Each structure stands twice: as C-alpha cells, then as structure tokens.
Amino acid sequence: MELVHLRDAARELGVSYPTLKQWIYRGKIRSVKTAGGHHRISRAEIDSVLFRQGGVGGRGRKAAKARHGIAAGAPGAGLEHFISGRNQLVGRITELKTVGLLTKVSLDIGGQRVTAIITRDAARDLGLKTGETAAALIKATEVMIIRPVGGRAG
C-alpha cells in the first residue's frame, strides 16, 4: 500500500494542508499513523476521494462536467447518476492499450489490478488517461470466494 505525505495528498486533492488535517480529525478521510505519530493517506483513499469529487484537483462535479463538454443548461447537464458504492472499485488508470476497435483499461485498486476491455469509442467518450482516477463497475450475477485446498493461506 502506497502511503502519501499529507502535504502531497492535499496538493493532489486541491485543498489546503489545514483542511486535510480537519478532514482526518472529522473522519472525512481515512489515514494511517506512522510509528512517529504522523498521518499518511493511502493512494487508494486519495483515488476514492478524487473519484467522489468528480475528477482531479478537488474541483468537483461542475469542473468535471466542463471538462467533458457538458455546459450548464445543456441536455443532461442536471442529470446525476448514482450507483451503489458496493459495485464500484475506485483506482488509478495504469494502462490504456487500443487495438482496432477495442481498448484494454487496467486500474490499480489498492495494489490489485483490475482489467476491462471496452470499445475504443467508449474510452474516448470517457476521456480516459493514464494516471487519472476511474472506477470499475462490477456487473455480475455472482461473486465466488475461493481458498487453497488443504490448508491456510498467508
């Protein structure tokens, strides 16, 4: 798990250092304490907050809509889509590879890699770029849990 210093995390989130400290104290963002008592924020937590804010730099939904060409008053400008948080895995785009009509998108989600194959047009419409946050939406009828046979793992 990659841990980020608070000043760097604040810069990425587009907030001041004191604001980030208040978020930690109020439980709005999760942090871990080092042996010396200093707070650090995981990369996964930063990605999750950025995704909830609608993009990068803490600019929120209005800026995200502007980046995607949705002007105020335009059709769809007032529409918000909410999906159960249990079905979303937020991470950072680590790879985009387009071959023909398809694009392979890989996300780093808390140190785990999730890969999806989407159309080239969908990747373009979403404005996907390596290093930015995105979410994998899990749409499945079942999730299976497995364990090694004959013993404990780890």
User: Are 62 and 91 contained in the same domain?
Assistant: no
Does 66 score more than 80 pLDDT?
Answer: no
Q: Tell me, what's the pLDDT at 137?
A: 85
User: Are 60 and 111 contained in the same domain?
Assistant: no
User: Are 58 and 96 contained in the same domain?
Assistant: no
CATH number at residue 31: 1.10.1660
Q: What is the pLDDT of residues 8-25, one digit of tens each?
A: 999 888 899 999 999 999
* SS3 (DSSP) at 35: coil
Whether 153 maps to a domain, the answer reads no
Structural domain including 57 reads 3-67
User: Are 43 and 93 contained in the same domain?
Assistant: no
Whether 109 maps to a domain, the answer reads yes
- pTM for the model: 0.55
Whether 99 maps to a domain, the answer reads yes
Question: What is the domain count for the chain?
Answer: 2
Cα separation values, 151 from 38, 102, 148, 154, Å: 38, 41, 6, 10
User: Are 17 and 45 contained in the same domain?
Assistant: yes
Closest of 99, 8, 118 to residue 107, by C-alpha: 118
User: Are 11 and 49 contained in the same domain?
Assistant: yes
User: Are 13 and 53 contained in the same domain?
Assistant: yes
Q: What is the pLDDT of residues 111-124, one digit of tens each?
A: 889 999 999 999 99
Whether 145 maps to a domain, the answer reads no
User: Are 7 and 43 contained in the same domain?
Assistant: yes
| Contacts of 6-9 spanning 24+ positions with Cβ under 8 A | 6/31, 6/38, 6/39, 6/40, 6/41, 9/41, 9/46
Does 70 score more than 80 pLDDT?
Answer: no
CATH number at residue 94: 2.40.50.100
